[in-house]
């Protein structure tokens, strides 16, 4: 089965920026698949969006579970025959913000962080890429962070100079490398691959101390997910502006 409507899958979309991204895409008439580790929470989020007139559907997606990835791929292929937008939104930070403790960062912390923030993104993207290739205008958005910028971390007077969370920062820098490499592989096709920095947003991860509201935090993901043919690929973007790698 296929549909003329665009179809978007957003991981980690039952709350926060992921949910708001789904809302903003759904209001543009895009079918949004709410990826959630907990299906019940995903269904509750989808139901809330449906009450706003959005075609939202929950899918169980624990991004570190290969069986979930396989099931989601099969579901999308059977129901839609293609995937127009993949937003790799799910991510974790297990470290505590504060003083630089790189020398004490455990191997477990590194492995757990990279498992979700990099390896799961690669696995999900590779699994779904054949469906994205069937889209007339495939868009892949990897949700990164300004904390993945090596250039800014190396600059002593940059806005993030004092924020050194090694495992998280390194995982997002690696995610940015995936964006660059995949975009290069797909250049000349109708697929665009970009990294998004949502900003410091009031979420469970960002806390209430963050200056940005969720509605604004979703704007970068939504913009990159709906880029026109003349839009960038292999870029690192925040609210329309390029960030240094």
Taking residue 71's Cβ as centre, other Cβ atoms within 10 Å add up to: 14
Q: Where are the domains of the chain?
A: 7-91+121-145+176-242
Active site residue 27: no
d(CA 198, CA 240): 11
* Annotated catalytic residue, options 135, 144, 145, 171: 145
Could you tell me which of 193, 244, 240, 194 has the C-alpha nearest to residue 216? 240
Active site residue 172: yes
d(CA 94, CA 109): 7
Helix (H) or strand (E) holding 111: helix 107-114
**CA 159, chain centre distance (Å):** 23
pLDDT by 10s per residue, the chain, length 245: 567 899 999 999 999 999 999 999 999 999 999 999 999 999 999 999 999 999 999 999 999 999 999 999 999 999 999 999 999 999 999 998 878 999 999 999 999 999 999 999 999 999 999 999 999 999 999 999 999 999 999 999 999 999 999 999 999 999 999 999 999 999 999 999 999 999 765 455 655 555 567 788 899 999 999 999 999 999 999 999 999 99
pTM: 0.95
Q: Determine the pLDDT at residue 207.
A: 56
d(CA 22, CA 46): 9
**Under 8 Å CB-to-CB from 2, ≥6 apart: which residues?**
80, 81, 82
**DSSP-derived pairing of the beta strands 31-36 and 7-10:** parallel
d(CA 84, CA 86): 7
* Annotated catalytic residue, options 172, 192, 202, 219: 172
Instruction: Decide which of 3.40.630.10, 2.30.30.360, 1.10.540.10, 3.40.50.720 is the CATH code for 7-91+121-145+176-242.
Output: 3.40.50.720
Q: Cα-Cα-Cα-Cα dihedral of 147, 149, 155, 161, to 10°?
A: 0
């Amino acid at each position: 089965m296929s549909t003329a409507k665009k179809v978007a899958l957003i991981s980690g979309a039952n709350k926060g920026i992921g949910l708001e991204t789904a809302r903003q895409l759904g209001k543009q008439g895009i079918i949004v698949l709410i990826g959630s580790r907990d299906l019940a929470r995903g269904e509750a989020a989808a139901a809330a969006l449906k009450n706003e007139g959005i075609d939202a559907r929950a899918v169980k997606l624990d991004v570190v579970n290969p069986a979930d990835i396989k099931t989601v791929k099969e579901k999308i292929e059977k129901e839609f025959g293609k995937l127009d937008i993949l937003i790799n939104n799910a991510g974790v930070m297990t470290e505590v913000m504060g003083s630089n403790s790189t020398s004490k960062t455990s191997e477990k912390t590194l492995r757990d962080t990279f498992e979700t923030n990099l390896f799961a993104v690669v696995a999900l993207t590779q699994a779904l890429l054949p469906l994205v290739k069937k889209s007339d205008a495939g868009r892949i958005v990897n949700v990164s962070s300004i904390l993945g910028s090596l250039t800014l971390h190396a600059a002593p007077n940059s806005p993030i100079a004092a924020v050194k969370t090694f495992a998280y920062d390194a995982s997002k820098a690696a995610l940015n490398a995936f964006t660059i490499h995949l975009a290069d592989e797909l250049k000349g096709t109708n697929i665009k691959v970009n990294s998004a920095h949502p900003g410091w947003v009031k979420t469970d991860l960002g806390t209430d101390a963050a200056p940005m509201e969720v509605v604004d935090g979703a704007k970068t993901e939504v913009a990159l997910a709906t880029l026109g043919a003349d839009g960038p690929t292999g870029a690192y973007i925040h609210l329309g502006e390029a960030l240094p790698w």
